[in-house]
């Protein structure tokens, strides 16, 4: 009996099964045979049970901060390399393996706060994310936040500009969103990154291909901004967490910031940093008209999707789909 050396054999295997080139991590604790060989120093009971998936610029940081104030919920430990977001499922961190991810959810977390959660706003539109997330966290609750996709695109453009993105600083918002396929590649790439995440129905369908609609909670980001306590009230019911917290007592509107912030006593507030709730000029009328048309088929599909899964159509979506303005 003859066989090729191990490396050659592996090469041959992956030629035959290219779909297996990238790993797909499952939960080692789900199978008794795995648990038996899983080292005593390893754990998996603290894997997140809630994922906030974004998309970016919809109020995901505010939601993350509000969730972290709840005594039954614990966010991941901070990551020195990716700031507060772990971005495990959507990029090369996934290839660092399960150990890397688990280190942000150490075993002692489960003593006082049974439910761990994670927020990475790029999960929403990451190609591989729903499949990878489901393979590891099939019972997780998934939270998406949506605002008008036009507003999201504009906020994202302002965000990337203030981070010094050379292309965004070279082109106006209108030039970016109206760039056609003969435009220079960096401009087309920026346009896609700016506009694509706003095609909400497309990405939600991908999540719904993996998770049941009962596991998916969709937050109206405009409401989160104007009535965060009401949004957090509904969210606590969806998450079935106790004690039930009255966020009216935890959050306070800060007129200077123009947003709700954490109430920290003596009439003081702790707000999110300058990069959340930026001040910039209103969107030009022509950009707003262009985006309204651009997103109409996507918004129509979103409206149908929401009705199909028994959700309320948010006011911003009705406004975006109305013929006025």
Nearest CB to ligand A3P, comparing residues 148 and 158: 158
Q: Is 278 in the site for ligand A3P (CB under 6 A)?
A: yes
Using CB under 6 A as the binding rule, the residues of this chain from 79 to 108 that contact ligand A3P are none
Q: Site residues for ligand A3P, window 128-157 (CB under 6 A)?
A: 155
How far apart CA 42 and CA 49 sit, in angstroms, is 18
141 CB burial (10 A radius; 0-12, 13-18, 19+)? buried
Select the span of 21-29, 72-80, 233-241, 271-279 touching ligand A3P (CB under 6 A).
271-279
Tell me whether residue 42 is one of the annotated catalytic residues. no
Token digits for 206?
A: 């991908």
DSSP conformational letter for 57:
T
Q: How far is CA 153 from CA 163, 235, 284, in A?
A: 15, 25, 13
CB closer to ligand A3P out of 14 and 280: 280
| Site for ligand A3P contains 276 (CB under 6 A) | yes
Find the catalytic residue in 12, 40, 57, 252.
57
- Closest approach, Cβ 63 to ligand A3P, in A, equals 8
Question: How many residues form the binding site for ligand A3P (CB under 6 A)?
Answer: 18
- The Cα 78–Cα 54 span in angstroms is 18
Our CB check for ligand A3P shows the closer of 157 and 294 to be 157
Cα separation, 220 vs 315, whole angstroms: 9
Report d(CA 102, CA 48) in Å as an integer: 9
Helix 285-308 / helix 200-210 crossing angle, nearest 10 deg? 30
**CA distances from residue 297 to 29, 57, 93, 175 in whole angstroms, order as listed:** 43, 21, 34, 22
Of 31-39, 203-211, 273-281, 293-301: span binding ligand A3P (CB under 6 A): 273-281
At its nearest, how many Å lie between ligand A3P and the CB of residue 122?
Answer: 10
44-73: contacts with ligand A3P (CB under 6 A): 56-62
Q: By the criterion CB under 6 A, which residues form the site for ligand A3P? A: 56-62, 121, 155, 158, 224-225, 259-260, 272, 276-278
Q: Which residues belong to the active site?
A: 57
């Amino acid at each position: 009996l003859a066989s090729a050396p191990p490396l050659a054999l592996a090469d041959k295997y992956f030629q035959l099964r290219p779909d297996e080139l990238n790993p797909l991590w499952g939960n080692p604790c789900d199978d008794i045979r795995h648990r038996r060989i899983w080292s005593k120093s390893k754990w998996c009971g603290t894997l997140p049970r809630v994922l906030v998936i974004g998309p970016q610029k919809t109020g995901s940081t505010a939601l993350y901060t509000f969730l972290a104030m709840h005594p039954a919920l614990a966010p991941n430990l901070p990551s020195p390399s990716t700031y507060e977001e772990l971005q495990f499922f959507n990029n090369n961190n996934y290839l660092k393996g399960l150990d890397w991810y688990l280190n942000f959810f150490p075993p002692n977390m489960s003593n006082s706060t049974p439910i761990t959660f994670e927020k990475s706003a790029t999960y929403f539109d990451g190609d591989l994310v729903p499949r990878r997330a489901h393979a590891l966290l099939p019972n997780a609750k998934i939270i998406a936040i949506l605002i008008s996709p036009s507003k999201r695109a504009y906020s994202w453009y302002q965000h990337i500009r203030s981070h010094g993105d050379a292309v965004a600083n070279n082109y106006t918002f209108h030039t970016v969103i109206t760039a056609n396929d003969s435009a220079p590649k960096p401009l087309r790439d920026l346009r896609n990154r700016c506009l694509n995440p706003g095609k909400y129905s497309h990405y939600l369908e991908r999540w719904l291909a993996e998770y049941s609609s009962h596991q998916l909670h969709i937050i109206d980001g405009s409401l989160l901004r104007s009535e965060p306590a009401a949004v957090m009230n509904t969210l606590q019911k969806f998450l079935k967490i106790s004690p039930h917290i009255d966020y009216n007592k935890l959050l306070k509107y800060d007129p200077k910031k123009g947003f709700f912030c954490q109430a920290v006593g003596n009439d003081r507030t702790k707000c999110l940093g300058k990069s959340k709730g930026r001040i910039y000029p209103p969107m030009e009328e022509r950009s707003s008209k262009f985006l309204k048309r651009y997103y109409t088929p996507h918004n129509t599909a979103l409206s149908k999707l929401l009705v199909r899964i028994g959700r309320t159509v948010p006011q911003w979506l009705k406004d975006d789909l109305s013929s006025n303005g």
